[in-house]
């Protein structure tokens, strides 16, 4: 089953949101949308951002990934639900090279890849669970453009994907525009707080109240008595 009729997150929003760290977007999204930490960059320093093109495959079969590569638009990120299977790689150098040639922004796979040294040299961003030398089959149908689960997060085609050394974050297409101002504000707040720390002010003004609310401190008690 192939769904071709979905809206992608706007290019202007992709351009602006791509400047944030994944942790910033995860925080302003309510600490949700981050894929399980087992999905990591294949090589340190890899980074991607763009609208998701989702692919649902049977474990160990990459037929639908080949189809998705042909369907993808420049700037898309292939988001592949490989069911976390690590017994065979779903993609390798040939497929990643084709992706790069077509202008695909990167690939996120809940599963395994291979040819990791060559992929590092290729300079194409890949986020996956692990590697495996075994190749896949190309026999079983699946779905493209439908909702998938990747790293424990539900993803629709057209949603925003951002990935860096910390991991992968998915943001619903409709929510991204509203989160961008919050992300800018958080970046500014953290920069201000960091400067305070460098000046020696390491106190967390919210900590005493949080400890009282958690029942650790009495109502009138402070962590560092005056």
Domains, in order of start, for the chain: 11-176 (3.50.30.40)
Which whole number is the average pLDDT over 179-207?
A: 91
Residue 195, judged by CB atoms within 10 A of its CB (0-12, 13-18, 19+), counts as exposed
CA distance linking residue 161 with residue 22, whole number of Å: 9
Q: Which of 172, 128, 122 is nearest to 150 (CA)?
A: 128
Which whole number is the average pLDDT over 45-63?
A: 97
Tell me what pLDDT residue 89 has. Answer: 98
First to last CA, the chain: 67
pLDDT for residue 206 is more than 90? no
CA distance linking residue 191 with residue 219, whole number of Å: 32
Half-sphere CA count of 21, side-chain side, radius 13 A: 10
Which whole number is the average pLDDT over 207-222?
A: 90
Confidence of residue 176 (pLDDT cuts 50, 70, 90): very high
Question: What is residue 203's three-state secondary structure?
Answer: coil
Tell me what pLDDT residue 203 has. Answer: 81
Tell me what pLDDT residue 201 has. Answer: 84
pLDDT for residue 200 is more than 70? yes
pLDDT for residue 13 is more than 70? yes
Q: What is the mean pLDDT of the chain?
A: 95
Tell me what pLDDT residue 132 has. Answer: 97
Strands 143-144 and 48-56: antiparallel
Confidence of residue 156 (pLDDT cuts 50, 70, 90): very high
CA distance linking residue 139 with residue 141, whole number of Å: 7
pLDDT for residue 226 is more than 70? no
CA distance linking residue 194 with residue 157, whole number of Å: 37
**Encoding tokens for residue 168?**
């992968």
Half-sphere CA count of 131, side-chain side, radius 13 A: 13
Tell me what pLDDT residue 205 has. Answer: 82
221 or 186, which is more confident: 186
Supply the pTM of this predicted model: 0.92
Full DSSP string of 172-187: -HHHHHHHHHHHHHHH
**Encoding tokens for residue 186?**
């958080």
pLDDT in tens, 95-154: 999 999 999 999 999 999 999 999 989 999 999 999 999 999 999 999 999 999 999 999
């Amino acid at each position: 089953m192939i769904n071709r009729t979905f809206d992608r997150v706007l290019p202007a929003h992709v351009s602006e949101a791509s400047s944030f760290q994944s942790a910033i977007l995860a925080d302003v999204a309510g600490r949700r949308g981050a894929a399980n930490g087992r999905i990591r960059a294949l090589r340190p320093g890899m980074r991607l951002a763009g609208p998701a093109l989702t692919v649902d495959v049977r474990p160990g079969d990459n037929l639908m990934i080949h189809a998705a590569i042909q369907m993808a638009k420049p700037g898309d990120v292939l988001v592949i639900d490989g069911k976390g299977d690590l017994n065979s790689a779903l993609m390798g150098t040939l497929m990643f090279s084709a992706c790069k040639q077509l202008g695909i922004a990167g690939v996120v796979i809940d599963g395994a890849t291979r040819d990791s040294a060559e992929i590092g040299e290729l300079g194409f961003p890949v986020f996956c669970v692990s590697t495996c030398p075994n190749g896949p089959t190309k026999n079983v149908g699946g779905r493209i453009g439908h909702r998938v689960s990747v790293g424990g997060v539900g993803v629709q085609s057209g949603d925003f994907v951002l990935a860096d050394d910390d991991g992968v974050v998915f943001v619903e297409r409709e929510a991204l525009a509203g989160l961008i101002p919050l992300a800018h504000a958080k970046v500014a707040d953290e920069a201000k707080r960091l400067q305070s720390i460098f000046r020696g002010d390491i106190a967390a003004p919210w900590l005493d109240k949080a400890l009282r609310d958690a029942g650790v401190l009495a109502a009138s008690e402070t962590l560092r008595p005056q």
